[in-house]
Amino acid sequence: MKLSNTTLNTRQLARITGFFYLLISAGGLYGSLFVREALIDPADELTTLNNIIENEHQYRIGFLSDLVMVISDVMVSVLFFILLSPVSRTAATFAAAFRLMQSAILGANLTNLFKPVLLISGKSEQDADTMSGLAHDIMISLQAFEYGYLISGVFFAVNCAFMGYLLYRSDLFPSFLGVMISMASIGYMFNCIASFVIPSMVEVSEMVLFFTAIISELTLCLWLLIKGVKGA
């Protein structure tokens, strides 16, 4: 069957969305796993300080990867609005608004992530008391970044709820993607609430997050990249 120009354009748009979704995943994972997990020791402020000083370039690259993630997130917000507004313009508007709000919080929160680079400038050779105070300030900044990330996750959870509905109702995507993204909404919200209100449940919430959100988003990303839309 010969595809119409409209179908081709929609498929291409979906694959472009998948590309930016992949950038979000790659940027976020690199910054989190290969930079912050490698350099930051929450139980040892001085070790964290020394790691950042000795690996400043790596830390800066991690910051850049998070910046790419935020920019890509804005692109995905707009592209999904274009793809899904025919289902319900109202729901698509709410979905875009909450995801753009998440992006705005993440973007502003990056100042907390970059602040350690400013603090360590010219501070590699200082007395022990100065280094101890500096290490404490840097750890506070990094903790603020982590909680800012969690706050943005609340808005993303609401976005996922609207996205789940839109994907389920859309003729462009299989309904199981809508179900999976709806489950991701629950995972993100549970993780955020547990982190702020029930810290003892964080390990459980992170496991729930993996099985609901991470797998769901990866599935959606791969569908967009490989298939694009149904029937393409």
pTM: 0.89
3-state secondary structure of 1: coil
Find out whether 164 and 107 touch, Cβ atoms under 8 Å.
Answer: no
Average pLDDT over residues 175-201: 94
Q: Where are the alpha helices (DSSP H) in the chain?
A: 5-29, 37-39, 45-54, 56-84, 89-120, 128-169, 175-197, 202-209, 215-226
Radius of gyration of the chain from its Cα atoms, rounded to whole angstroms? 20
Per-residue DSSP letter, 200? G
Specify burial of residue 205 (Cβ count, 10 A radius: 0-12, 13-18, 19+): buried
Identify the band that residue 229 occupies on the pLDDT scale cut at 50, 70 and 90.
Answer: confident
Span 6-61, pLDDT tens digits: 445 899 999 999 999 999 999 999 999 999 999 999 999 999 999 999 999 999 99
Average pLDDT over residues 189-212: 92
Identify the band that residue 132 occupies on the pLDDT scale cut at 50, 70 and 90.
Answer: confident
Per-residue DSSP letter, 191? H
Q: Which amino acid is at 80?
A: F
Residue 201 has a pLDDT of 92
Average pLDDT over residues 103-113: 97
